[in-house]
Amino acid sequence: MRVVELEALQVRIPLKRRVTHASHSRSETENLVVRCILSDGSVGYGEGVPREYVTGETIDTCWELLRRSALEEQLGEEIPDFVAGVRLAERLQIAPVEEDERQIIGKATRCAVELALLDACGRAFGEPLSRVAEILAPELYQFRPQVRYSGILANPRGWKRRLYPLVYRWTGFEHVKVKVGIKGEDEVKRLSVLRRYLGRRIDLRVDANEAWSAGEVIERIRELEPFGISCVEQPVAQEEVSCLAEVRRQVRIPIMLDESVCSLRDAELAIRHGWCDLFNIRLSKCGGFIPSLRLVQLARQHGLGCQLGCQVGETAILSAAGRHFATSVGGLRYLEGSYDRYLVREWLSREDITIGWGGRAPALAGCGLGVTIEPQRLAVVAVRREMLIGCGRKSE
């Protein structure tokens, strides 16, 4: 068994509504999808969501890195079983970028290639993606037949501002995250209203998306303490993250890092200098399933918590990968993702794996990702494609 074809596709996914937070606003997303075919005909899919303001990647960066990464040489060996496929995926490297001291550029690209290979190998050898955690991190492995995802509140307007929190409360969500730091908002008033509508039983946390400066962050966090906030995510920009060691000494609410933890190097610095209490692990941002596992291992070794996050515009490919991660890695504090039906206009999978009542979602049965990607639907949203291995390496 070996890789005989590897194709990259740039897909443009329109969103059902404009999503706004302190760092960005978007109504569509440009994602990288990779299709991997093995010599037995097994087909696997992977996805990456490049975000320049997170890892310095654009969709054009992805194409450049794919061409420079010698993928045919890296993926040319025989794959006798699923474990060998997992080990091959673990060794996968994307070409380095000069002056990338944080070693973060190329994470979305690597994620797409890695997931495509793992999905194909899973289908070929009859194994689910969740087996990767059992193989590579048995101390983290904890299979759960069902998990509970968080609700997300960005910046709804008008009647939606009161309806959405009530829906989360009535449908039994356990966790809700609120985007804060949005220009022109009175966050204290807003959180007061939200807490009243959500009730006291729901675990409420906030995400500032780098909105606050080092000089104001302590005051901003203290203002939110009366509302029973369980965590503050990425309160300052990456350039000012060193201030968080002192912030943690002066506030009671735990600090989570997101944009500032995209690689092992980032994570090691955060641990060494005491910048946070939790990491937000997002598969695309962190380079795939396996690098994300390694980040959770590192956090666990140093007594830090982890959240499984997601990125706006993920299709069923990343949603399914995230579900396997959520149902196989124990001890994750919060879960985000699988918002498919509520957010993206174009379906890529035959199955609907959107979260259900109260954020509940079952483990995915089946091999590989456990979802069926429809080539016809993929063709509708593809705006560019290039064969990286096999078939004359065509591009269009």
User: According to the annotation, is 60 in a ligand binding site?
Assistant: no
Same domain flag for 218 and 185: yes
User: According to the annotation, is 258 in a ligand binding site?
Assistant: yes
Same domain flag for 122 and 145: no
The amino acid occupying position 85 is G
Assign 184 a pLDDT band (cuts: 50, 70, 90): confident
Assign 161 a pLDDT band (cuts: 50, 70, 90): confident
Please count the structural domains in the chain.
2
pLDDT digits (tens, 9 = 90+) for 27-59: 789 999 999 999 999 999 999 999 998 999 999
Same domain flag for 51 and 194: no
Same domain flag for 121 and 139: no
pLDDT digits (tens, 9 = 90+) for 249-259: 999 999 999 99
> Could you tell me which residues are beta bridge partners of residue 349?
373
Same domain flag for 156 and 284: yes
Assign 345 a pLDDT band (cuts: 50, 70, 90): confident
Assign 393 a pLDDT band (cuts: 50, 70, 90): low
116 inside domain: yes
Q: What is the pLDDT of residue 28?
A: 85
**CATH value at residue 15:** 3.30.390.10
Mean pLDDT of 71-82: 97
Same domain flag for 258 and 231: yes
369 inside domain: no
Closest CA to 149 of 362, 359, 364: 359
Residue 21 has pLDDT above 60, yes or no: no
Same domain flag for 108 and 75: yes
Asked whether 394 and 14 are in contact (CB, 8 A), the reply is no
Residue 384 has pLDDT above 90, yes or no: yes
What mean pLDDT is reported for the chain?
A: 94
144 inside domain: yes
What residue numbers bound the domain in which 182 lies? 134-362
Q: What is the pLDDT of residue 26?
A: 65
User: According to the annotation, is 119 in a ligand binding site?
Assistant: no
Asked whether 237 and 210 are in contact (CB, 8 A), the reply is yes
Same domain flag for 231 and 348: yes
Same domain flag for 211 and 331: yes
pLDDT digits (tens, 9 = 90+) for 199-226: 999 999 999 999 999 999 999 999 999 9
Same domain flag for 179 and 322: yes
79 inside domain: yes
368 inside domain: no
**CATH value at residue 171:** 3.20.20.120
304 inside domain: yes
34 inside domain: yes
Same domain flag for 116 and 143: no
Same domain flag for 300 and 384: no
Asked whether 217 and 247 are in contact (CB, 8 A), the reply is yes
Burial of 347 (0-12, 13-18, 19+ CB in 10 A): middle
